[in-house]
Every structure is written in C-alpha cells, then in structure tokens.
Homo-oligomer: A and B are copies of this chain.
C-alpha cells in the first residue's frame, strides 16, 4: 500500500507566508506531508508551472436562504458549490436567517438539511433580527454547542435592522457565548429618509440607489457599531467596507486597541456608481449595499488592504437574476430603485478578480492574496488551521492556479444559478485549473465533478481571542471605569 493516497507534485506552494516548491502528500482527505519529493503515492497530480494555493474560504455568502413568504433565494447549495469550485473556493460561511417573531433553532436545523445537499464545506453565521430572551438565552447556547460561532446583525434594511438596544443585546450575548459578531454598517433611518426624499422628487432610477446611501451613512454606522462593541468589549467584523472613510474608522479603532476587523468585496474594488447608470435598467445588475463608489475609492481601498485595515476579501454572494419572477426586473423596468432586490453574485469571480486586479497589477503580493482570500477569513472565523492553510493536518483543500492564464469572464464560467454576472466581459489574468476538496478533485478545467451531498458542516470552537476581562453579567463587567 502506498504511503499517501494522493500526491500533488511539482507546484509552487503558496501558503500566504512565502512560497516553496514542494510536493504535498495527502491521506484521509488531509495534508499528511509536505516534502521536497513524495514518491510513494497511489495517485499523483502534476502541478508543474502552477501555483498551489489553499482552497478559497468565502466567509460571506448568501445561499438558499428561505424567506418569510415561503420562497427561497435562487442560489442553492448545489449551484453554489459548483460556482465556488469553479472559482477556486472550497468552503464558505453562509447565513441562517431569522425572521422577526420567529426563533433561530428551527431555521438552523432547516439550513443544515439544505446545506447537506451541496458539495461545499460550510459553516454558518446566525443572523439575529429579533434578539428576544428566548433566542439569546435559550436557542443561541444550543447553536453554539453545535459549533455556530458567529452572529450577523444588520443596522439597516426594513425587515432586518436592529436598534442600538437590540445590537447591544446581541453583543452582550455573543460575549457570554464566545461568538464573533459581524455587522452590516449603514444607518437605517438615514437611508430611509433619503430614499423618501429621492422618490418624492421623482428620482427613481437604479443610479439613485447610490444617492440614497452615500459614504457618510456607512461611516456613521461603522463608528457606532465599533463604539458599542467597545462598550461591551466584544470583537466584531465590519462587513463589506466600500469606502475609505468607513475603513478609517476601523483603522482608528484598531490603533486604540479595539478588536475590530474589516472586510471588503471585489465589487467595491471593480464596480462604480456609474455602472448603475447604464442604459435600459442594466444598472440594476450592479446594485448592492453598500453601493459601489468611484474609481478613486478603489485605490483608497487597495491602500486600506495593504495597510491591513481590511484583511478579508469575501464575495457577499447574494445575487438575484435579472429576469424571472424574483429577478431584479420583477417589478418592470420602471421600478423605483427601492423596490429592486439588491446584491450581486461573486462566488466564482472572487479569486480571479482579486488575483488579476491585485497580484497581476502589482497592487498586492501573492502572499497578501492568499491571506485575504483564505488564511485570514479561516483564522478569523475559527476555521484555521483546518481550512485556509497548507500545513500538515489541514484539510487537503487546494487550488491549482495558473497565474498566466488570461480569461474573459462570462456568466457561463460562473456556474451559478443567476442569469448574469456584473463582471461580464472583464478580462482577468490568473485562473483556477483544478480544485481539490478534502483530497478529492472536485473541479478540473471548469468541469465540476463532486457528488451532491458530500459537503461537510464545519463546527467551530470558541474564539481564542475573546477573553472576558471580568465576571459580572451582560458585559457590564467590562465597563471601563468612569474616567475612561
């Protein structure tokens, strides 16, 4: 019997902390050895001339979420898995919804059932939109016991936003339970007010979506989310930072020692508000929240990435098709922007876009690319070193990446359920030629070969970096002394 079940040979292995030319020996779905030469393997994959990267970890994806009205968003775990593998991503953290007036446990069980049908490995963020005692004190501890270790809250959206009081309750519960809290930071009241004013003035086209939520609205909520987390002494991650002024609030907080992390997404590095002004309702394809800004903002965000202020790039994959009864054009091409579902798909495009715009164009290094897309999200989400790392004992989630391949993006290449990609026609340099998930080849040359139902749930441990400073209840013990 061979020493290893599989060997990946001859690639340049990039761990996020330097590269080394070496072979990888895999057994039982895990990395069993890294060595200059692994001869004794049952099977071999040749990686000459290719980079070998840890499988992408996408810590911000919306997949198959049921809605209160009984419908379900169109991207299923099956289609999402294909899309992820096609783009070099092997695990995700996606969302379990909570509907106001309902609990979370049932939704969690339902989502486990749904996710079991896919091929991706997955962990869950539990959305909290109704932080009742029952949810926080009875259901959440059960979820945590199952290994759900991050909560998601929204500071905007009619159906989802929390008041500060609700957000504080979630922070305090997270602190008790050892969870991370992730936050969508935009000011609900401000957006509502501006939206009303715009619509009243007859300014309804897709491009006014951006007008309804300018950067100051994001900066305000970012500062508030951080300040309240400081009060409770609870770590948070700020999701999808779209502009430097919001990122600067994160930087300032980090500089004073606050445990806050920042994420951005490819759409904020490549799309602009002007895209929403494309003719004939096409603009709706580029609507997401926060809204894309302008090209100068892209460069400022790259600088924030290089500074480490933003250390995760995820997709916020959350698309709706353009056509169809639940599509962006569901209410017709004259629908006011408020009524157009927003979100853009990006599960497959994330790595190619970031590699091409980042590494190939010299804005970031290969090390930074790997950390942004795999190591950092895995570590922050408590998935490392099982995920996001190429080291002995880690899951053998690997991507064979051709750094020179030039590809023109099309929706077909995305392999998702959505009928368009906002990146249609963009040319990228760098492309995944094969993807391995736990030692099995699940994608080769665009062909996805995994069996439905092979994805694994990823339970997580308590966060090591969450060290309560005191002993009283509800975060109160963290209260700084009055003079502070």
Interface-forming stretch among A79-87, A385-393, A409-417, A454-462?
A385-393
Is the beta-carbon distance between A392 and B20 smaller than 8 angstroms? yes
A480 cross-chain contacts in B, Cβ below 8 A: 214-216
Report if A200 contacts B (CB, 8 A): yes
Interface-forming stretch among A102-110, A339-347, A467-475?
A467-475
- Closest B residue to A475 by beta carbon equals B197
Question: Could you tell me the distance between the alpha carbons of A307 and B254 in the complex, rounded to whole angstroms?
Answer: 7
Is the beta-carbon distance between B18 and A392 smaller than 8 angstroms? no
Q: A165 touches which one: B19, B192, B293 (CB < 8 A)?
A: B192
Q: With A214-B482, A391-B18, A483-B294 in contact, is A33–B36 under 8 Å at CB?
A: yes
Is the beta-carbon distance between B201 and A472 smaller than 8 angstroms? yes
Cβ distance A31 to chain B, nearest Cβ, rounded Å:
9
**Chain A contacts with B in 88-104, Cβ cutoff 8 A:** none
- Closest B residue to A38 by beta carbon equals B33
**Chain A contacts with B in 416-436, Cβ cutoff 8 A:** none
Is the beta-carbon distance between A201 and B389 smaller than 8 angstroms? no
Q: With A187-B164, A197-B473, A476-B197 in contact, is A231–B214 under 8 Å at CB?
A: yes
Complex copy number for this chain: 4
Is the beta-carbon distance between A391 and B216 smaller than 8 angstroms? no
A374-394 interface code vs B (CB 8 A; 1 in, 0 out): 010001000011000101111
Report if A373 contacts B (CB, 8 A): no
A207 cross-chain contacts in B, Cβ below 8 A: 482
Report if A463 contacts B (CB, 8 A): no
Report if A279 contacts B (CB, 8 A): no
Is the beta-carbon distance between A389 and B22 smaller than 8 angstroms? no
Chain A: interface residue total (CB-CB under 8 A): 84
Q: A168 touches which one: B17, B189, B307 (CB < 8 A)?
A: B189
A16 cross-chain contacts in B, Cβ below 8 A: 17
Is the beta-carbon distance between A34 and B474 smaller than 8 angstroms? no
**Chain A contacts with B in 433-455, Cβ cutoff 8 A:** none
Is the beta-carbon distance between B215 and A484 smaller than 8 angstroms? yes
A284-327 interface code vs B (CB 8 A; 1 in, 0 out): 00000001011011000001001110000000000000000000
- Closest B residue to A214 by beta carbon equals B480
Q: With A231-B194, A303-B257, A308-B308 in contact, is A384–B18 under 8 Å at CB?
A: yes
Is the beta-carbon distance between A214 and B303 smaller than 8 angstroms? no
A residues with CB within 8 A of B: 13, 15-22, 25, 32-36, 163-165, 168-169, 172, 187-190, 192-194, 197-198, 200-201, 207, 210-211, 214-217, 219-220, 223-224, 227-228, 230-231, 251, 254-255, 257, 272-273, 291, 293-294, 296-297, 303, 306-308, 362, 375, 379, 384-385, 389, 391-394, 467, 472-476, 479-484
Query: Other CB < 8 Å A-B pairs besides A17-B389, A211-B481, A216-B227, 17 of them?
Result: A15-B391, A20-B391, A20-B392, A20-B394, A33-B35, A34-B34, A35-B35, A36-B393, A168-B193, A193-B474, A197-B474, A214-B479, A215-B484, A220-B223, A257-B303, A272-B483, A273-B483
Task: Give 10 pairs: A residue, B residue, CB < 8 Å, sorted on A.
Answer: A15-B17, A20-B385, A34-B35, A163-B189, A190-B228, A211-B481, A214-B231, A216-B227, A291-B482, A294-B483
Shortest 3 CB-CB distances between A and B: which pairs?
A210-B482, A33-B35, A197-B476
